[in-house]
Amino acid sequence: MRVTLAKRTFPALVLLLGSAAAFAIDTSRPEVQQFINRMVDEHSYDRDTLESVLQDAESKESILEAISRPAERTLEWHEYRDIFLTRERIAAGAAFWQEHEAELSRISEETGVSIEMLVGIIGVETYFGRITGSYRVLDALSTLAFDYPPRSRFFTSELEQFLLLVREEGMEAADATGSYAGAMGRPQFMPSSYRAYAVDSTDDGKRDIWTNWSDVIGSVANYFVRHGWQADKQVVAPATLGAQWQGETPENQLKAEETVTSLSHQGAMFSTELAGEEPAQLITLTGEDGKEYWVGFHNFFVITRYNRSVMYALAVHQLGQEIALEVNDSAR
């Protein structure tokens, strides 16, 4: 689906970046003025400063095109998995683990979040800091707040959070770069997540998720702790459904509504040492050879709080496991 910019008059210069148009945000638009008024009234933001910042923002058609076709919605599981579970990325992850082993071990021990999970997240999100996005966060959030009606409310809130973050951290709004959706830095935090979960792991008075690996790793771990990660608990297990399967195969969900016992009684076969009352949910994906079945446990659905996709959660888990095997093999 192609998403186009809303029809309106653009008094400012139209820039052509390849085939993608970019338009300066018109701060006289009612919805923009409403946003400015709210920032002034609720957060005592200086009106002139805010108008100057937003006048510098550009609404980009390339951002609208990108958000209309996220990989989680257009690819099957085996195609999605192949993006992240490559020899190159696994080797890069092993090198990252070995280089930052002291910090990874310290933070994992302090928080209970496994090293496999930490490197899995950073590996999927930014290829261990190699790919952090080249869009200005100001442009991404302004575009989606004012020119993408399906999620305008969410991105208007994130633009609000970003401008508060800029003020709190002493940042220049125009300097921050990230993804087409406004996710920032090596862990790809949205502004609300940055404000809520980023930590200063080095006690230098800054929460630097762009260049400080200790802060990055600590922030990812803190995100998982705050969303209920359970230390040393199983994440997911492969499952088979035999002729005895009596349950349904519902659409994949982002929370566990069954238990280990209830799925077992319905005929799902999987291996776990978790207690019978532990939350569990059947997951159905399309692999190269047809349907694949998995059972996700509590921690699996904690991963989906980072990105609301079961394919994402499984890719993160599997990448972390493969990197751990690579590290262990190299240590022999």
The predicted-structure confidence for 84-128, as pLDDT tens digits, reads as follows 999 999 999 999 999 999 999 999 999 999 999 999 999 999 999
Enumerate residues 6+ apart whose C-beta is below 8 A from 22.
Answer: 14, 15, 16, 58, 59, 60, 61, 62, 139
CA distance 327 to 115: 11
For residue 163, the SS3 value is: helix
Give kind and range of the element (H or E) at residue 296. Answer: strand 290-297
Which residue would you say has higher pLDDT here, 14 or 273?
Answer: 273
What is the length of the chain? 332
In this prediction, residue 72 carries a pLDDT of 66
Enumerate residues 6+ apart whose C-beta is below 8 A from 324.
Answer: 97, 115, 116
Q: 264 exposed, middle or buried (CB, 10 Å; 0-12, 13-18, 19+)?
A: middle
Q: Dump pLDDT digits (tens) for 21-80.
A: 888 999 999 999 999 999 999 999 999 999 999 999 999 999 999 998 776 677 999 999
Range 157-178 average pLDDT: 95
CA dihedral 286, 287, 292, 295 (to 10 degrees): -90
Q: Dump pLDDT digits (tens) for 7-20.
A: 333 333 333 333 45
Enumerate residues 6+ apart whose C-beta is below 8 A from 123.
Answer: 84, 89, 92, 93, 96, 316, 319, 320, 323
As given in the structure block, the two tokens for residue 298 are 């509590």
In this prediction, residue 71 carries a pLDDT of 66
The overall average pLDDT reported for the chain is 91
| Domains by residue range for the chain, with CATH | 14-69+136-194 (1.10.8.350), 229-304 (1.10.530.10)
For residue 273, the SS3 value is: coil
Q: Which of 125, 160, 322, 326 is catalytic?
A: 125
Identify whether 125 is a catalytic site residue. yes
Q: Look up tokens 């080797």; give the residue.
A: 91
Return the amino acid letter for 274: L
Which residue would you say has higher pLDDT here, 249 or 285?
Answer: 285
As given in the structure block, the two tokens for residue 300 are 């699996």
Contact 107, 217 (CB under 8 A): yes
- pLDDT at 259 exceeding the cut of 50: yes
